[in-house]
């Protein structure tokens, strides 16, 4: 009888365990480094626009939104950089079969991974009507689409683990 594989992300003790292959964890760690470069780069880089959403959407509110961005961007960048630091620290354990995360680290992991996914989605111009199954192997950006799908898959596992935790009481028993 074959062994059942471990879930990609699971509750473990008082936190979470991420069971990814070394190459997958290394890929995510490298993506975190690329995200760091983007965050510290130009403020008008269109690839990061989804990370700094518009606060004022009405016509004529451009000046108010510019002021909001000027006031808040540094705080948002600092928060995202701290999250990247946490993720890189968790995933950087050489030779470990899995990464152990606390609740705070798991939330930082989700935020950081979703940030990378948002940037990649911007580059690929992914929207709600986009069907990744329609991308053929000869598409010039097929690798990027596969990466987007991989990040979505890991995020889905993370959300399942977080939702499983939300459905548990303090004693670990399911809430009725």
Distance between CA atoms of 143 and 163, rounded to whole angstroms?
Answer: 30
Name the pLDDT band for 1 (thresholds 50, 70, 90).
low
Name the pLDDT band for 171 (thresholds 50, 70, 90).
very low
Query: In the prediction, which pLDDT does 81 show?
Result: 96
Query: In the prediction, which pLDDT does 168 show?
Result: 60
Query: In the prediction, which pLDDT does 95 show?
Result: 52
* pLDDT of 105 above 70: yes
Task: State the CB neighbour count (10 A cutoff) for residue 20.
Answer: 18
Query: In the prediction, which pLDDT does 93 show?
Result: 60
Q: Which of 2, 34, 7, 14 minimizes the C-alpha distance to 106? A: 14
Prediction pTM value: 0.83
Q: What is the DSSP-derived secondary structure letter of residue 59?
A: T
Residues near 42 by beta carbon (within 8 Å), at least 6 away in sequence: none
Distance between CA atoms of 3 and 6, rounded to whole angstroms?
Answer: 9
Task: State the CB neighbour count (10 A cutoff) for residue 34.
Answer: 12
Distance between CA atoms of 136 and 130, rounded to whole angstroms?
Answer: 13
Lowest mean pLDDT among 39-43, 88-92, 118-122: 88-92
* pLDDT of 169 above 90: no
Instruction: Give the dihedral sign, CA 11/13/15/17.
Output: negative
Structure confidence by residue, pLDDT tens digits, 47-104? 998 898 888 888 888 899 889 888 999 999 999 999 999 888 887 664 566 788 888 8
CA 19 distance to own-chain centroid: 16
* pLDDT of 122 above 60: yes
> Mean pLDDT of all residues in the chain?
86
């Amino acid at each position: 009888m074959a062994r059942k594989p471990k879930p990609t992300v699971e509750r473990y003790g008082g936190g979470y365990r991420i069971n990814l292959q070394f190459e997958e964890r290394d890929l995510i760690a490298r993506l975190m480094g690329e995200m760091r470069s983007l965050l510290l780069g130009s403020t008008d880089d269109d690839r990061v626009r989804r990370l700094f959403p518009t606060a004022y959407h009405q016509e004529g509110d451009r000046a108010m939104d510019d002021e909001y961005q000027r006031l808040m961007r540094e705080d948002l960048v600092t928060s995202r950089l701290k999250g990247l630091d946490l993720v890189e620290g968790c995933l950087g354990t050489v030779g470990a079969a899995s990464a152990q995360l606390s609740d705070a680290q798991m939330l930082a992991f989700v935020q950081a991974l979703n940030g990378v996914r948002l940037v990649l989605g911007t580059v690929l111009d992914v929207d709600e009507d986009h069907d990744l199954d329609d991308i053929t192997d000869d598409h010039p950006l097929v690798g990027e689409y596969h990466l987007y799908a991989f990040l979505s898959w890991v995020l889905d596992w993370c959300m399942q683990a977080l939702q499983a935790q939300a459905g548990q009481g303090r004693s670990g028993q399911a809430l009725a």
